[in-house]
Amino acid sequence: MGEETFNQILESLKITLGVTEVRDIAILTEILNDAITEIKEARHYPSEMSASDIESDMQKFISNIKKLSKYDYNQVGAEFQNSHNENGVSRSYVDRRKCFDGVVPYCRQF
């Protein structure tokens, strides 16, 4: 993903999540990098596909990248929990795989 697009997504996530602290921005940046990598892996791009073609295709999945990043950021400190109960507050989490809805392996036409 290009630097400009990456920074636009990061800024959007910072606003949406209310992230302002340097430490939290560093965590969010790492989570965003991981989300991009996971979407690329889910697409299974062929090795001969050019970086610019991958970049162009990845534009279609920015909403998935944001969803995955938000999900993972909100799970910091509660990793691997399906639900959480504390002081009368009950929280359950949607399945992380929902963030990949619409992301299918890349298939080229012959």
Q: Say which amino acid occupies 51.
A: A
Place of tokens 């299918």: 104
DSSP 51-87: HHHHHHHHGGGHHHHHHHHHHHHHTTTSTT-SEEEET
Q: What confidence score (pLDDT) does residue 80 get?
A: 67
pLDDT at 1: 81
- How much is the pLDDT for 18? 97
Which pLDDT belongs to residue 79?
A: 66
Tens of pLDDT, residue by residue, the chain (110 residues): 889 999 999 999 999 999 999 999 999 999 999 999 999 999 999 999 999 999 999 999 999 999 999 999 998 877 667 777 888 888 777 888 998 999 999 987 66
Q: Domain limits of the chain?
A: 3-100
